[in-house]
Amino acid sequence: MSIRLLTASAVALGLVAVTPAAHAQDAATVQQAIVVRDAAMRSNIAMDYVTQLTTRFGARPAGSRSEQQAAAWAADYLRANGFQNVRIEEFPLVGWERGESSAAIVGDNAQALVAAALGHSPATQRGGVEAEIVRFSTFEDLQAAPETAVRGKIVYVDLGQMHPMQDGSGYGPQTRVRGAGPGVAAAKGAAAFVMRSVGSDEDRMPHTGTTRYVDGKPTIPAFALAAPDADQVSRLVALGQPVRMRLTSTARTYRTTSQNVIGDLPGATRPDEIIVLGSHMDSWDLGTGAIDDGAGGAITIAAAKAIADSGRRPARTLRVIFYGSEEVAQPTAQTGNGGGVYARGQGAALDKHIIAGESDFGADRVYALRLPAGAQGSDFQKAATRVLYPIGVLASDRVETEGGVDVGPMGPLGVPFFGLAQDGTRYFDLHHTANDTLDKVDPAQLNQNVAAWAGLLWLIADSDVDFRAMKPAPAPAAPTR
């Protein structure tokens, strides 16, 4: 996207354009950030990392042997690139294996359907589940349905097709159905659960994703239909005649371990002050996890490496974490995701975690910078804009409050977040599908991410800015009459 087009859309996106003439914190710090940014743009570390990861290990389901081996390899990769204190921290996990699955319309005009079992969905009985479909167009309709309308049937929820959006904002409502829908259907006596895939493409390519446990137990077999197949089922239901479906799955769960891989570039003068760069190692099993989230790991390690290679060490420590088990739900708090495990394990050291950011939205270009509350309009934001504006990144007045699944658990414990918002227009075409493969990574856009991260991280790491202490500016007083 051109700077001209980006600037023209700034008002609509809630972005704040601060010109390069704006006053900044420190001219030397800004100049070094620009040097690091430009070097990062020319780096090949990110593409090398994601290429090796996806080629050597392919898909990396949480707790699988491939995820574990990829973690060991990534630790070696960190060491080879100059990271210190590299360690692998394991934690218990309930793993999930897809096995074989199928879906079909049965009857006089039988039709095979393209579907994928949802993560941590249980297997069907031998021979599968066959029942009449009952369709709902909203999650609220399912919640309100009487048990008599659902019992013994296959619940089908079709919210309609998700539309591509730059910020991916259509994803949240759809994932609510994926996570909670099977449990609601099971409580009403449904035999199985089917939904339209959570994705913005119209390919015959189902999107998997996790569903949730209820009281520590799996619910009912649950599947996602590819978009054309979801359309077909909805048309059949609209004919007004009973529609029967057969579903089969041999999925299973098993006890295993996942792990976080951690490596530091220690700060020169304040090494106890830590900046976390997060991404996740695990992926779904259908593709090779290049977009979700091999690219995120590639971006963070390459950004930190660009700083290390600059010949100057910033004051604060940069900590790269490849989190395990981001993708899957767990039955209890005793097994969990890497983000929660890390946050709980830091104790008092978390007080010295200055800020955290996460790269987990693919590999397409960064278009906006989001900072914690109180940083909007600050000298730091102005300095960051001087560094990022030339590569197409504008400062946003939107406050970064969530961080992401991996770094998010640190938020309630006092750690603020930054965000480098990526263009997600095509992200949900590929997300959780067999199409999530290396060829979808654009090297030029990947390196623009690395450059944005590297430039911003230098500003944070070589400053004394305390994001925890920043407070939002008071709202202007209401006019008097």
Q: What angle do CA 103, 108, 109 make, to 5 degrees?
A: 55
Q: What is the pairing mode between strands 115-117 and 129-136? A: unpaired
Q: How many CB atoms lie within 10 A of CB 461?
A: 26
DSSP character at residue 89: E
pLDDT value of residue 25? 59
Beta bridge partners of 93: 256
- Residue 359 main-chain phi, psi, to 5 deg: -110, 105
- For residue 128 the two structure tokens come to 């599968």
Looking at the domain covering 99-250, what would its CATH class be?
Answer: alpha beta
Confirm if 176 and 140 have CB atoms less than 8 A apart: no
Residues 36, 462: contact at Cβ < 8 Å?
no
Helices 443-461 and 295-308 meet at what angle, rounded to 10? Answer: 50
Q: Locate tokens 């400062």: which residue?
A: 395
Backbone angles phi, psi at 391, to 5 degrees: -105, 20
Among residues 296, 266, 253, 271, which one has the least CA distance to residue 123? 253
pLDDT for the residue 336:
83
CA distance 217 to 85: 38
Residue type for position 471: K
Q: How many helices (H) and strands (E) does the chain have?
A: 14, 17
Q: What is the pLDDT of residue 333?
A: 81
Whether 396 contacts 421, CB under 8 Å: yes
Place of tokens 């079709």: 158
**Entry pTM:** 0.93
Distance between CA 205 and CA 193 in Å, rounded?
18
Cα dihedral 342, 343, 345, 347 sign: positive
Helical segments of 337-414, H only = 338-345, 379-388
What pLDDT does 173 receive? Answer: 86
- Cα dist from 348 to 267, 343, 351, 414, whole Å: 19, 11, 6, 11
Which CATH number applies to 3-95+255-466? 3.40.630.10
Which amino acid is residue 178, in one-letter code?
R
Domain boundaries, the chain: 3-95+255-466, 99-250
Using CA atoms, how far apart are residues 116 and 101, in angstroms rounded to an integer?
7
Mean pLDDT by 10 residues, the chain (481 residues): 35 42 66 98 98 99 99 99 98 98 97 99 98 98 98 98 93 93 98 98 98 96 99 98 99 98 98 99 99 99 98 98 97 89 96 98 98 95 97 95 96 97 98 99 99 99 93 54 37
- Which DSSP helix (H) or strand (E) runs through 223? strand 222-225
